[in-house]
Structure 1
Amino acid sequence: MKSVLITGANRGLGLGMVKYLTKHNKAENIFATCRTTSEELQNIAQAHKTLHIFNLDVTNSENYVNLSSLISKVMGSQGLNLLINNAGVTTKFTKLSLVKTEQLLENLTVNTIAPIMLTKALVPLLKQAAELNQDKPVSANRAAVINMSSILGSIAQNDQGGFYPYRCSKAALNAATKSMSIDLKKDQILVASMHPGWVKTDMGGKNATLDVETSVSGIFNTVEKLREPDSGKFLQYDGTELPW
């Protein structure tokens, strides 16, 4: 891939993705966005000139146009091959009797609205990449959007209840993924939702079953294999298809 954009790249899963891509030379240009740059992310950028860090609060859609311009300055007319909407927030186990309006709104804003609006803003760059790479199959090497979702967004597998803000926002993101896959099919842009597994991050907690490296390795191994028939699917990091 010539270019990858990862939101929420200063820690956790997003930082793990940056580490994986730089370590394995998987992309010629990596665009990492975050509200506040972590020292670890800065250190990686100093060692890898292919990594570009851009300040971005995903809740402020007015900055999306500027982000698009910054990418274009680096990529010229080559566009953007892969957009990974990774930035997210969660709340603790939230029962119906305890859920608050502000929790619902925050989760929906960051986990659903931001990925939709950022994708909308970057579609012209994705189209550029898709058109320029017509010799390649529909894939991340051409143009693709990966929305980082969660098994908690699966309605079919919800057997615990609770988690209202997070579940609702991720179920809505899955719905957006399906619509994106249909709307962008004509442009040869692949779109999929992906569950990273229960990962040991600040969000996942210390009891999680997967380390970041295992999850991220699985995610990119799966992403590299995705083709046109996979567009619109909800997949686990290891490629297993999940129920909506």
Structure 2
Amino acid sequence: MSLKVKSMLITGTNRGIGLEFVRQIVKLPHPPKWLFATCRNPDQAKELQEVAALNSNVKIMKFEVTDGDGIKALVREVEKEVGEEGLNLLINGAAVLHRVNLEDVNEEVMVNSFNVNCVAPLLLSKAFLPLLKKAVKKSPVEGLSCDKAAIINLTSKMGSIGDNTSGGHYAYRASKAALNMISRSLSVDLKPEGILALAIHPGWVRTDMGGPRGLLGVNESVDSMIKVMGSLNEEKAGTFLNYNGAPIEW
């Protein structure tokens, strides 16, 4: 099934996975009317600007995920565009990876990782809840789906406690494990509202964050995730999925 959302917002679109999402989504058979692409420094996001220049539905928005006042302003700007149509899909993709292990981990690294990878997705989800609810009311779709209203948190297999056999990466692992728990709680709380929520691991992707040894190209990862998102339903609420839709142990 193809993804058919009317409006969506993606954080962290200046490069890597977020940028590739924008590139591929505008090419869908049924692209969204509104595709809000956020990043910290739009003036430096040349590739994103190129996509937006060719696709009028792409709205680049300056946004720092740890800025509380910025979250409120972002919601207001999106609401001005979508009105009573609401927001169908929120993809929390912005993340930070501090490459520190036990010898050099510190409070600053831990706090920053949690703020970006865990706290920000939760507060964004909370802030956009009224617009997600509006999308539910406007949607003719039965059950739960991304086409109706959904929150997708891009997580990491490194946040899996059961899969952790190599240790290290304390800040990243812990913050992504916390994001997984938040995703599960959101799914429980929002299911009665008609809103789908879950966590997806993009795979180990060859990006600036993932590094050159990644097992996947960014094109393959995003293409697979978009296909998975198009097929999601209430049975997948609160799950932790691989980029290809396979379940990952918590």
Interval containing the TM-score (normalised by the shorter chain): over 0.9
Corresponding residue for 2:236? 230
> What does 1:145-156 align with in structure 2 at a 5 Å threshold?
145-156=151-162
Cα distance in 2 between the residues matched to 1:26 and 1:225: 16
TM-superposed CA distance for 1:152, in Å, is: 0.1
CA contact (8 A) 1:4 1:27 kept: yes
- Structure 1 regions of 5+ residues with no counterpart? none
Q: Distance in 2 between matches of 1:61 and 1:199?
A: 30
Could you tell me how far apart the structure 2 residues matched to 1:27 and 1:150 are?
26
TM-score, scaled relative to structure 2: 0.95
**One-letter amino acid of the counterpart of residue 4, structure 1:** M
Tell me how far apart the structure 1 counterparts of residues 31 and 207 of structure 2 sit (CA, whole Å).
23
Matches within 5 A, 1:40-189: 40-92=47-99, 94-189=100-195
Q: Distance in 2 between matches of 1:45 and 1:98?
A: 40
* 1:112-143 CA-partner distances (Å, limit 9, x unpaired): 00000010000000000011114433101100
Give 2:200's aligned amino acid: M
User: In the alignment, which residue of structure 2 is the partner of 1:2?
Assistant: 6
Query: Would the aligned equivalents of 1:61 and 1:118 in 2 still touch at CA under 8 Å?
Result: no
Q: How many residues align?
A: 243
Where 1:140 maps in the other structure, the secondary structure is coil
Comparing 64-73 with 122-131, greater Cα deviation is found at: 64-73
Give the drift of 1:212: 0.6
> Does the CA-based 8 Å contact 2:141-2:147 persist in structure 1?
no
Q: Deviations over 1:55-102 (max 9, x none)?
A: 00001021112111111111120000000000000011x322221111
SS in 2 for 1:131: helix
Q: Distance in 1 between matches of 2:200 and 2:84?
A: 29
Whether 2:35 is the aligned partner of 1:12: answer: no
The worse-fitting range, judged by mean Cα deviation, of 133-142 and 198-207 is 133-142
CA distance in 2, matches of 1:97, 1:16: 35
SS in 1 for 2:84: coil
Counterparts of 1:196-207 in structure 2, within 5 Å, are 196-207=202-213
Aligned-partner SS, 1:145: strand
Mark the runs of 5 or more structure 2 residues left unpaired by the alignment: none
Identity %: 42
- Distance (Å, rounded) in 2 between the aligned partners of 1:28 and 1:239: 26
Alignment RMSD: 0.9
Other-structure match for 1:33: 38
Partner-residue secondary structure (3-state), 1:20 = helix
Moved more, 81-90 or 21-30: 21-30
